[in-house]
C-alpha cells in the first residue's frame, strides 16, 4: 500500500449511457474514456492504437459526435451518451455499414474498423448520400494500414446505397 | 479479357469468414485479452538509433512497488539465444542481434543510412547529416 496517494488517484463515479444502456461506473480519475470502456466496461471493440490522437482507432460517438476516446478524460463524460462499435448491432442485425464493410473487404486486419465504422455512422447521419470527397474528409483522421482506403470508401458508399434502398425513413435521423 | 464477358466469381468480393467478427468488435486482439493475475511488460527502447550500451541500471525500477522483474540483454540466459533476431541488412548480422546488450543499431534502413546513423550517434554535431 502506498500512502499519501495524490488526489487524482481517487476513484470517481459517474453515470452515463453506453450503447443505449444506463451505466454506473467507478473508475480512477486519471483514466481516459477509452480505458474506462475497455477496462471497466469490458467493451474491447474500441481499439487502443497510438494513444496520441493520430490513428483514430479509438473513435467513439459522444453525444453523436465522433471523438477520440484516448484523448477524452472519462470524467468529462458524466451524464453523456457514448456509442461504440458494439452498439451498432441492432437486435442482432448488422448496421448497413457493418454489412458493407464485411461484404466488400472494407475490413482486413480489423484494428481500425471499429473507429472507422462509428465515424462513418456519424457521417451518414449528417449526409445520407455523401460524396467521395465528403467520405474522405470524414475519415481523414482514421488510419488504415491494410486496405489502401479504396475498399473502405467503397464500403461506405455501398452502405449509404443499401440504407437508402432499405429503410429510407430510418436513415433520415 | 474478351469484351462483354462477365464472371460470377472472378472479380467479385466475397465476405471473409471473420468478416462479421471484425465489424462487430468481437475479434479478440492480443491487447483485448485480460487474464487473472496478468503481468504487464514495458519495453524500454533506446532513444538513440545507434549507440553503445555501457550499462543499464535497473535498480530503481526493481525497487518500484509492483515490479516483478527487470530484464536486460545481459541477464538473458543464453547469449544471442532468445532475443528476437532482426532482419537487418547491416554489416554484421551478429551485431544486429545485440540489441540491449552492447550495441543499438538502427535497422530497417539501408547500409548507407545506417552508417550515417552511427555518425549521428557518436557525434551529435553531425546530427543534421541524416
Q: Is the pLDDT of residue A163 over 70?
A: yes
Which among B20, B25, B65 is the nearest to A114, CB-wise?
B25
Q: Is the pLDDT of residue B99 over 60?
A: no
B-chain CB neighbours of A121 within 8 Å are none
Least confident range from A79-93, B54-68, B93-107: namely B93-107
The three-state secondary structure class of B59 is: helix
Tens digit of each residue's pLDDT (9 = 90 or more) over A120-157:
999 999 999 999 999 999 999 999 999 889 999 999 99
pLDDT of residue B77: 64
Q: Is the pLDDT of residue A14 over 50?
A: yes
- A5 or A88, greater pLDDT: A88
pLDDT-based confidence at residue B13 (cuts at 50, 70, 90): confident
pLDDT-based confidence at residue B58 (cuts at 50, 70, 90): confident
Tens digit of each residue's pLDDT (9 = 90 or more) over B112-130:
333 333 333 333 333 333 3
A86, B24: Cβ pair inside 8 Å? Answer: yes
- A29 or B50, greater pLDDT: A29
B-chain CB neighbours of A44 within 8 Å are 25, 28, 31-32
Please, what's the b/e burial string for A30-68 (b: 16 or more CB within 10 A of its CB; e: otherwise)? ebbbbbbbbeebebbbbbbbeeeeebbbbbbbbeeebbb
CA distance A87 to A57: 16
Q: Report yes or no: A59 and A115 within 8 Å, Cβ to Cβ.
A: yes
Is this model's pTM higher than 0.80 or not?
no
B63 touches chain A (CB under 8 A): no
ipTM over 0.85: yes
A113 touches chain B (CB under 8 A): yes
pLDDT of residue B126: 33
Which residue shows C-alpha cell 475479434?
A: B27
- Which residue from A27, A29, A25 is spatially nearest to A9, judged by alpha carbons? A29
- B95 or A44, greater pLDDT: A44
φ, ψ of residue A171 to 5 degrees: the values are: -75, -10
Which residue shows C-alpha cell 551529435?
A: B124
CA distance A71 to A73: 6
pLDDT of residue A42: 96
pLDDT of residue B7: 87
Amino acid at each position: 500500500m502506498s500512502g499519501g496517494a495524490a488526489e487524482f488517484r481517487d476513484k470517481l463515479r459517474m453515470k452515463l449511457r453506453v450503447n443505449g444502456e444506463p451505466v454506473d461506473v467507478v473508475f480512477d480519475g486519471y483514466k481516459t474514456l477509452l480505458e474506462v470502456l475497455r477496462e471497466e466496461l469490458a467493451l474491447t471493440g474500441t481499439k487502443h492504437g497510438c494513444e496520441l490522437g493520430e490513428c483514430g482507432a479509438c473513435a467513439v460517438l459522444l453525444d453523436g459526435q465522433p471523438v477520440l476516446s484516448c484523448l477524452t478524460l472519462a470524467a468529462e463524460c458524466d451524464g453523456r451518451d457514448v456509442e461504440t462499435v458494439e452498439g451498432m448491432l441492432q437486435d442482432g442485425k448488422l448496421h448497413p455499414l457493418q454489412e458493407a464493410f464485411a461484404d466488400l473487404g472494407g475490413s482486413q486486419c480489423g484494428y481500425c474498423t471499429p473507429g472507422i465504422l462509428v465515424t462513418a455512422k456519424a457521417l451518414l447521419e449528417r449526409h445520407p448520400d455523401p460524396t467521395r470527397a465528403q467520405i474522405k474528409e470524414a475519415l481523414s483522421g482514421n488510419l488504415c494500414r491494410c486496405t489502401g482506403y479504396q475498399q473502405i470508401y467503397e464500403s461506405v458508399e455501398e452502405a449509404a446505397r443499401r440504407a437508402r434502398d432499405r429503410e429510407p425513413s430510418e436513415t433520415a435521423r | 479479357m474478351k469484351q462483354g464477358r462477365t464472371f460470377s466469381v472472378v472479380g467479385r468480393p466475397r465476405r471473409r469468414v471473420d468478416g462479421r467478427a471484425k465489424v462487430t468488435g468481437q475479434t479478440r486482439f492480443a491487447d483485448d485479452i485480460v487474464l487473472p493475475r496478468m503481468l504487464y511488460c514495458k519495453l524500454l527502447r533506446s532513444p538513440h538509433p545507434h549507440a553503445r550500451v555501457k550499462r543499464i541500471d535497473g535498480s530503481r525500477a526493481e525497487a518500484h512497488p509492483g515490479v516483478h522483474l527487470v530484464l536486460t540483454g545481459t541477464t538473458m540466459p543464453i547469449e544471442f539465444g532468445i532475443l528476437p533476431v532482426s532482419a537487418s541488412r547491416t554489416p554484421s548480422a551478429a551485431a544486429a542481434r545485440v540489441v540491449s546488450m552492447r550495441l543499438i543499431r538502427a535497422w530497417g534502413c539501408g547500409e548507407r543510412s545506417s552508417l550515417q546513423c552511427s555518425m549521428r550517434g557518436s557525434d551529435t554535431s553531425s546530427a543534421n547529416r541524416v
